[in-house]
Structure 1
């Protein structure tokens, strides 16, 4: 239970920070083609890098521990928050934006009252993916000294303890499934509200 709560804590904080960084960058990229041209190659590079490549430089700069794991996890999990936010805003039908302009809405009002509400389900999907990527990275970060379920997995591997490994794996899967179902339900409600 303690290690499960440590995993939830590390994953939750990392995903929250990744969303705090990623969603505003995604919003800026959605409103400016120039920003998108700068951001897209960076997030593409982050997405194709193996997860171990995030751990090595962070360990070299900071000491081993939870903060190191969180920094590596944020760098790994920020991509979907940026990508889905940008995509969601850009996918709003131009006809609705034009209707808002004709109705006398300013650019800010159009963004806040038309684009953002319509893109919310897509943004929430990005948050969901950010959480799942953070969870995957937190497990790998057990190599840098975190005391969570990832450590249980590595101990089970080193001792060939299949029972311990299965229990840790099921606990990790349960966290991921609960997070996924909660955000899918929230996204479905947002879509239903928007019609």
Structure 2
């Protein structure tokens, strides 16, 4: 029916007009050539600038992998208990990590934990100041929000291309890709948490003569901490989700095993490594949520 209708309509109304092929080819060549020139000019300086990041990642990964499993497990369960104050979450962490070790995925899990830890720290270092700036300036918020929208909606495979072209294959390119994917929730929820602080509390701080610096660090950030913790939680979850994709460009650990299982159709290997990723995600999620609830109760008790 649609084809028959086109017989009676001008071709322009039936086929969407496109730009000239020669123009599109020249445009693609100029853009690709410009990017390649940028890589040739600035690739090495950018590599050198990020070398400390490579050292830190390698050091943390070696620390996690080489540490006796009993020591690491004891430290992990202690941190989980101090953050959550929940015996159920702590016991679940110990049992889940024990199962991961029994199925032979302990070392790969340590590599993934090191990567997620570094990505989360970088996301916090970038996201917290950016969220504060957005909360203090509507113009900054309107400028940054479209960038965050693009970062969250653009398929991760697309921005792997420029990262690989600039930095090649390796851990640092994978780390950059994970941070790009994981940092937006940290920025958004920091901004949201500060903006949600009650105006009456801010007016009271102004009445006591608080400076802008004091108001930020003694009033706004403490009251926004539960929301900021939710941002950290979401950042960790997105970093774990991106680890599998980043394994395509040299990130090891559980993501590499999942990718190999997909390639070779190894159902059991994929299932076990997926289970390990889910376990890590649940541990981080339950612990950070419990800590966020404790912070919220503490804040309500102080300011209530």
Give the structure-1-normalised TM-score.
0.96
Q: Report the aligned-residue RMSD.
A: 1.1
Unaligned regions of 5+ residues in structure 2, if any? Answer: 1-105
What does residue 153 of structure 1 align with?
258
Q: CA deviation at 1:152?
A: 0.9
CA distance in 2, matches of 1:19, 1:190: 18
Which residues of 2 match residues 30-179 of structure 1 at below 5 A?
A: 30-179=135-284
Counting matched residue pairs gives 195
What does residue 23 of structure 1 align with?
128
Q: Partner of 1:86: helix, strand, or coil?
A: helix
CA distance in 1, matches of 2:167, 2:210: 48
Unaligned regions of 5+ residues in structure 1, if any? Answer: none
Query: Do structure 1's residue 193 and structure 2's residue 301 form an aligned pair?
Result: no
Q: 1:10 aligns with which of 112, 115, 118?
A: 115
8 Å CA contact 1:4, 1:149 repeated in 2:
yes
Largest Rg, 1 or 2:
2
Q: CA deviation at 1:36?
A: 1.2
Q: CA deviation at 1:182?
A: 1.3
8 Å CA contact 1:11, 1:134 repeated in 2:
yes
Q: 1:60-112 deviations in whole A, cap 9, x for unaligned? A: 11110111100111111110110000000001111111121122222222222
Q: Partner of 1:104: helix, strand, or coil?
A: coil
8 Å CA contact 1:54, 1:76 repeated in 2:
no
What does residue 73 of structure 2 align with?
none
Q: Partner of 1:92: helix, strand, or coil?
A: coil
User: Which consecutive segments of 4 or more residues in structure 1 shift more than 3 A?
Assistant: none
Q: CA deviation at 1:13?
A: 0.4
8 Å CA contact 1:142, 1:151 repeated in 2:
yes
CA distance in 1, matches of 2:290, 2:158: 34
CA distance in 2, matches of 1:5, 1:174: 13
The structure, 1 or 2, with the larger RCO (C-alpha pairs under 8 Å, 6+ apart) is: 1
Give the structure-2-normalised TM-score.
0.62
Q: Partner of 2:168: helix, strand, or coil?
A: coil
CA distance in 2, matches of 1:146, 1:37: 34
